[in-house]
Chain A
Amino acid sequence: MKLSTNFVKDYVDIDVDVKKLAEDMTNVGNEYDAAGPFIPATNLVIGEVLECTMHPDSDHLHVCKVDVGKEVLQIVCGAPNVRAGLKVIVALAGAELPGGVKIKKGNIRGQESNGMICSIAELGLESKFLKPEDKEGIHELPKEAKVGEDPIAYMEMKDDVIDFDLTANRGDLLSILGMAYEIAAIYDKKVKPIELSYKDTKEDVNDSFKVEIHTKNCPIFLAKKVENVVIKESPAFIKNRLMASGIRPINNVVDISNYVMLETGQPLHYYDADTLKGKLEVRMAKDQEKLTTLDNIERTLSSEDIVISDGEKAIGLAGVMGGLDTEITENTKNIIIESAIFDAVHIRKTAKEILRSEASSRFEKGLDPNRTYMAIERSCHLLEKYADATIVGGLVKQDTTSLEDTKITITFSKINQVLGTKVPQEEVLNVFRRLGFTYEVKEDTILVSVPKRRIDISIPEDLIEEVGRIYGVNNIEGRLPALPIKAGSYDKRTRKLRNKMIDLGLNETLSYILVNEKEAKDFTCDDTEIAKLLAPMTEERNTLRHSILPSLIKIYEYNKAHSQKDISIFEIGKAFYKMGEDYGEENKIAVLMTGEFYLGMHKTAVDFYVLKGIAEEMLDFLGYAGRYSFVTNKEMPKEFHPGQSAAISVNNDIVGYMGRVHPAKVKEAVFVLEINLDKLFSKKVGKMKYKEISKYPSVKKDLAFIVAKEVTAEEIAKSIKKAAGSLLLGSEVFDVYTGAGIEEGKKSIAYTLELGANDRTLTDEEINGVLEKVIIALEKQGATIRK
């Protein structure tokens, strides 16, 4: 809402700087984007062109002698319409024009020039308000303009404008009167009454005109008829105030409808009475009903839109925009004025789907029916005054609203309890008085009567807000709440996991969860569906990811494109799915590693085993040591390399997948892992316990076996463990070999076994016994011991 301060001064006497007013309004909750003069140009003066000759060195420039009152200046001017005898706007040296233009004394192609003769556009009037002649040349002031005076004042354009960014609840401030009440409350002033008087004829409009309401979405509809209007240009003050408020002037009648809407907040519609058939109807539109609006666009309506009909067809989109067929034209003589309220929710929906207008933005926020009456009276007053209208007697009226004040009971103690203050009673009452609310006090209780114009106020808390606002929230002393001391809690496990991954040398990322539909299910294989947006901003981000890995692949690609080859990253976040009609989300951790990996002082090329090491360290850290395995006999997501990937199983339940990304997807060696943390954490972990350290030394023995290539290290490890029994403390692979000396289709795999006991040093017989058992067990499975 752009507020013309000239306009509001009609209703409240203030004399404050525009910046101060804007700041004071901000402090009571009405933020602004900009505040400053309507015409942001300085150092202007009315001048008269005394002489005008062609510039000797130019085919379009003129050299002018301009009388600016105190002196006669030579000014070079390029406008085609500059000529001797013209009254013009001169920007003197030192003037600042919008867009950072500074006027200096200078020299244009050898001719001295001491200022600039201006067009209206150069003064900063918005282009939508410019007439064709304003764009072509300098502004021509009337002959009567006095040389040496301020042209802005002469044109009645001296005004300051504040562009407010209002909150959604303060629909009342979308009017000059609402602003006047707010400003009056801040500075403790009275709001001046609005002039509504006019003469009307003895006829009754109800004898010739009917209004029918066929929907509950129109609680009040008033109509009045005026006759014999003279369509002409509006007086300057109306045009300038409209422009300062952001509305383009058209003619006196249309301008008055907009002017009254600005004043009262009540949108109006004026119909050319001679295009109507003696009545107006309010009803819901039929599905697919067509209507051509004022802007000459054919709209297709639905049964959710409210329309005005002439009894046969829709002639206006209620609360949004009138129809083309019944609009006010140059030839209009008689007018039907509509002043009505339409249901906010329906208007909002229509406005969102079809068109948002000055009118709809007011209906959407709700209106005061008192203003519905006021606006129609004010229209008559101004049409009589500025359009020579004859006002037909009587008012067509369909009204189910209440005009009464809203009564709210509150106590002084509740106000002070919620604010945490000790505001004295008289100060509280003072706030209500300044806001124009009346009240009755009975001990601690106040019965407050809130005028309908403040439709945002309906409950006691709203009144507390008003007290806080006007008393000044920054006058309230802050304190920490006096609450019992207790220990706060947070998700330690996730944070510890994050820190562990960082300790492992990985860099944490944060990526967008919205991805392309095509990749949303990558790296997963389950029977869920994807969750897709109804109205995405771009196709690239139209679906919620089911895995974090597509996001990490994108990060990999981004970094690769920026010549970063060594990437070891992880992310903890949510992944989403659809299951039947329900939607769900899961916490996951994803890791991506490629290039070289630095851990501590060690630097190595990332392969499957590096990632496996990360996976194991992570699972061990989380307490799952000994409960997980990497299995290859399960169905794998197709984005993994079939020969270098595994499902991660904890307690025989698949919690995630890891491995190399399928070369068809990424040709470089990129390794990824993802674990469903909700699934993993559902498996309980016992407390960490100290394990006794043996006082007796252990021994290490190496054994190498030749086995078929297909036999996995894990199978051999399991057999060793089973055969060796409790004296085996651990086993480790130290060599895997194929090639010379080893038969085709076989491999050699060498283990170091660590043997020991807590209560004794093992004897040679014991050690050899264990080794013997291991060898026999493995030989049974087809292995041969390598000597």
Chain B
Amino acid sequence: MKEQIEEMKTKALDAIAKAENEKQLEEVRVTYLGKKGELTAILRGMGALSPEERPVVGSQVNVVRDTLESKIKEKEEQFKQEELNRKLKEETIDITLPATKVKRGSKHPMNRIIEEVEDLFVSMGYDVVDGPELETDEYCFERLNLPKGHPARDMQDSFYVTTEYLLRTQTSAVQARVMMKNEEKTPIRVICPGKVYRRDDDATHSHQFGQVEGLVIDKDISLADLKGTLEVFVKKMLGENSVLRFRPSYFPFTEPSYEVDVSCFKCGGKGCNLCKQTGWIEILGSGMVHPNVLKMNGYDPEKYTGFAFGTGLDRLAMFKYGITDIRLLYQNDIRFLKQFDRMD
């Protein structure tokens, strides 16, 4: 009996191994393990065995059955895998064919820069404020310590609409607006990005351009605070390796006043055509808010000090994106605009 079972097992295993597809495997399963299968027949015939033999044969049959079942299962898995592999192969596509376009629009480089500047200063607790572009002489000049006839007015030839209204020549106009609007005369921490206008149009100047103004008024604000703030600003915008140079200068609305140069980001300060061989590029005007400006706009210069700064945004955008001609920023060639569609 034992030999008979062993022989059957060998035959069955051989048949499983030889099965070429699921159908043949199923036939093998039916032949041995089916209701009318050979192994089932042996189990059925167990009643004829002696009580001593029965458990021995029973357990032998069970072992063989388990072996066969697991072998069949293994073989089944193999067939499934083969079938899947075949299907996957069939479904293989040419991934080098062109993509289906899912293009979105793009943000103008100037607004990309403005948003970057805004995000930086907002993270330092500044409020972003807006002011009129068609401004009054009072806010654009007079309240900034630039009375009519002041020689510094020549620095910025203006577009007047009437003797009182003009297109603002500087975002500094917003300084006075913010100070006047703050009736409690509490500390101020703002930036104001926006458009400004000057009678100037050549290869490097546009009559309309972008500027951002910063203003901080509080107790004990110092030049060292201005320096530290501008260092953070310039390094974030133009790279951590940037070196700043402060040069005393003159603006009627600040005293002391400084122009700020940054080490040339093209040559690193060695001298090139971008920095006109000087190694430096002028990027900012800044200074401590002039006490007359504080006074004129309701702040007590004995109690408060402040700093202000302003920088051109066109140049920042040009530096950042390697734009060589300022006119590209205002030409709005769709092929230019569409390039600004990715993160920085």
Q: Report which A residues bind B (CB closer than 8 A).
A: 26-29, 31, 167-170, 344-345, 348-349, 352, 364-365, 417-421, 459, 461-462, 464-465, 468-469, 473-474, 476-481, 483-491, 495, 498-499, 501-514, 531-537, 541, 544, 555, 558-559, 562, 564, 566-570, 573-574, 576, 583-585, 598, 600-601
B100: chain A residues within 8 A (beta carbon): 601
* Complex alpha-carbon distance, A168 and B228, angstroms: 27
* Complex alpha-carbon distance, A491 and B258, angstroms: 30
- Interface assignment of B338: CB less than 8 Å from any CB of chain A: yes
CB distance from B59 to the nearest CB of A (A): 57
- Would you list the 9 A-B pairs with minimal beta carbon distance, nearest first? A420-B224, A420-B222, A29-B248, A478-B227, A488-B122, A465-B256, A167-B250, A345-B149, A478-B228
| Set A167, A489, A501: member contacting B105, Cβ < 8 A | A501
Q: Are A585 and B134 in contact (CB under 8 A)?
A: yes
Q: Are A558 and B246 in contact (CB under 8 A)?
A: no
CB distance from A167 to the nearest CB of B (A): 3
Q: A349-B149, A418-B223, A504-B105 in contact; A167/B249 too (CB < 8 A)? A: yes
Q: Are B201 and A537 in contact (CB under 8 A)?
A: yes
- Interface assignment of B288: CB less than 8 Å from any CB of chain A: yes
A343 and chain B: residue at smallest CB distance: B149
| Set A364, A418, A537: member contacting B222, Cβ < 8 A | A418
Q: Are A502 and B165 in contact (CB under 8 A)?
A: no
Stretch at the interface among B33-41, B75-83, B125-133, B266-274: B125-133
* Complex alpha-carbon distance, A81 and B151, angstroms: 50
| Set A468, A495, A537, A600: member contacting B223, Cβ < 8 A | A468
| CB 8 Å contact bits of B144-164 with A (1 = contact, 0 = none) | 000011011011000111100
* Complex alpha-carbon distance, A574 and B133, angstroms: 8
Q: Are B249 and A29 in contact (CB under 8 A)?
A: yes
A536 and chain B: residue at smallest CB distance: B159
Stretch at the interface among B43-51, B84-92, B108-116, B177-185: B108-116
Q: Are A487 and B134 in contact (CB under 8 A)?
A: no
Q: Are A491 and B291 in contact (CB under 8 A)?
A: no
* Complex alpha-carbon distance, A484 and B124, angstroms: 10
- Interface assignment of B102: CB less than 8 Å from any CB of chain A: yes
Q: Are B208 and A514 in contact (CB under 8 A)?
A: yes
B250 and chain A: residue at smallest CB distance: A167
B290: chain A residues within 8 A (beta carbon): 461
A505: chain B residues within 8 A (beta carbon): 103-105
A506: chain B residues within 8 A (beta carbon): 105
* Complex alpha-carbon distance, A418 and B223, angstroms: 6
CB distance from B119 to the nearest CB of A (A): 8
B223: chain A residues within 8 A (beta carbon): 418-421, 468, 473, 476
CB distance from A177 to the nearest CB of B (A): 20
B115: chain A residues within 8 A (beta carbon): 495
* Complex alpha-carbon distance, A752 and B100, angstroms: 31
- Interface assignment of B107: CB less than 8 Å from any CB of chain A: yes
Q: A465-B257, A559-B334 in contact; A498/B208 too (CB < 8 A)? A: no
Stretch at the interface among B7-15, B19-27, B324-332: B324-332
B305: chain A residues within 8 A (beta carbon): 417-418
* Complex alpha-carbon distance, A484 and B219, angstroms: 12
Q: Are A479 and B225 in contact (CB under 8 A)?
A: yes
| Set A28, A459, A474: member contacting B245, Cβ < 8 A | A474
Q: Are B248 and A488 in contact (CB under 8 A)?
A: no
Q: Are A512 and B330 in contact (CB under 8 A)?
A: yes
Q: Are B105 and A601 in contact (CB under 8 A)?
A: no
Q: Tell which of B102, B255, B335 has the most Cβ of chain A within 10 Å.
A: B255
Q: Report which B residues bind A (CB closer than 8 A).
A: 100-108, 110-111, 115, 118, 121-128, 130, 132-134, 148-149, 151-152, 154-155, 159-162, 165, 167, 187, 189, 195, 197, 199, 201, 207-208, 216, 218, 220-232, 245-250, 255-259, 288, 290-291, 305, 329-335, 337-338
Q: Are B256 and A469 in contact (CB under 8 A)?
A: yes
* Complex alpha-carbon distance, A477 and B154, angstroms: 34
* Complex alpha-carbon distance, A461 and B159, angstroms: 32
B231: chain A residues within 8 A (beta carbon): 478
* Complex alpha-carbon distance, A505 and B149, angstroms: 50
* Complex alpha-carbon distance, A68 and B289, angstroms: 63
Q: Tell which of A488, A489, A583, A601 has the most Cβ of chain B within 10 Å.
A: A488
A480 and chain B: residue at smallest CB distance: B228
* Complex alpha-carbon distance, A533 and B335, angstroms: 33
B124: chain A residues within 8 A (beta carbon): 480, 488
Q: Are B155 and A490 in contact (CB under 8 A)?
A: no
Q: A489-B122, A537-B201, A601-B102 in contact; A481/B256 too (CB < 8 A)? A: no
Q: Are B208 and A512 in contact (CB under 8 A)?
A: yes
CB distance from A222 to the nearest CB of B (A): 24
Query: What are 25 of the A-B contact pairs (CB < 8 Å)?
Result: A170-B250, A418-B256, A418-B305, A420-B224, A461-B291, A468-B223, A473-B227, A476-B223, A480-B225, A480-B229, A481-B216, A490-B127, A491-B130, A504-B105, A508-B106, A510-B111, A513-B197, A514-B197, A514-B207, A531-B161, A531-B165, A544-B161, A567-B334, A569-B337, A574-B195
Q: Are A485 and B125 in contact (CB under 8 A)?
A: yes
* Complex alpha-carbon distance, A562 and B228, angstroms: 47
CB distance from A579 to the nearest CB of B (A): 12
A417: chain B residues within 8 A (beta carbon): 220, 222, 305
A559 and chain B: residue at smallest CB distance: B334
CB distance from A485 to the nearest CB of B (A): 6
CB distance from A239 to the nearest CB of B (A): 31
| Set A485, A511, A562: member contacting B333, Cβ < 8 A | A562
B338: chain A residues within 8 A (beta carbon): 507
A477: chain B residues within 8 A (beta carbon): 224, 227
CB distance from A202 to the nearest CB of B (A): 44
CB distance from A597 to the nearest CB of B (A): 10
* Complex alpha-carbon distance, A541 and B199, angstroms: 11
Q: Are A364 and B333 in contact (CB under 8 A)?
A: no
Q: A170-B250, A564-B334 in contact; A490/B151 too (CB < 8 A)? A: no
Q: Are B330 and A479 in contact (CB under 8 A)?
A: no
B307 and chain A: residue at smallest CB distance: A481
A536: chain B residues within 8 A (beta carbon): 159
Q: Are B332 and A509 in contact (CB under 8 A)?
A: yes
Q: Are B218 and A483 in contact (CB under 8 A)?
A: yes
B245: chain A residues within 8 A (beta carbon): 474
* Complex alpha-carbon distance, A501 and B105, angstroms: 7
A513 and chain B: residue at smallest CB distance: B208
Q: Tell which of B110, B124, B201 has the most Cβ of chain A within 10 Å.
A: B124
CB distance from A76 to the nearest CB of B (A): 36
Q: Are B335 and A585 in contact (CB under 8 A)?
A: no
Q: A29-B249, A558-B332 in contact; A483/B125 too (CB < 8 A)? A: yes
Q: Are A476 and B224 in contact (CB under 8 A)?
A: yes
B247: chain A residues within 8 A (beta carbon): 26-27, 29, 31, 473
A565 and chain B: residue at smallest CB distance: B334
A574: chain B residues within 8 A (beta carbon): 133, 195
* Complex alpha-carbon distance, A169 and B223, angstroms: 20
B133: chain A residues within 8 A (beta carbon): 513, 574, 576, 585
Q: Are A544 and B256 in contact (CB under 8 A)?
A: no
* Complex alpha-carbon distance, A531 and B133, angstroms: 12
CB distance from A559 to the nearest CB of B (A): 5
| Set B159, B162, B208, B246: member contacting A473, Cβ < 8 A | B246
* Complex alpha-carbon distance, A498 and B111, angstroms: 10
Given contact pairs A479-B225, A488-B122, A511-B330, enumerate 18 new A-B contacts (beta carbons under 8 Å).
A28-B248, A169-B152, A348-B151, A364-B151, A417-B222, A418-B223, A420-B222, A420-B227, A461-B256, A476-B223, A478-B228, A478-B231, A480-B225, A483-B187, A504-B105, A507-B106, A562-B335, A585-B132
| Set B101, B161, B220, B228: member contacting A601, Cβ < 8 A | B101
| Set A26, A348, A508, A562: member contacting B111, Cβ < 8 A | A508
Q: Are B122 and A502 in contact (CB under 8 A)?
A: no
B246: chain A residues within 8 A (beta carbon): 473-474
* Complex alpha-carbon distance, A485 and B165, angstroms: 38
Q: A483-B189, A537-B207, A567-B334 in contact; A461/B255 too (CB < 8 A)? A: yes
Q: Tell which of A28, A502, A573 has the most Cβ of chain B within 10 Å.
A: A502
* Complex alpha-carbon distance, A272 and B294, angstroms: 51
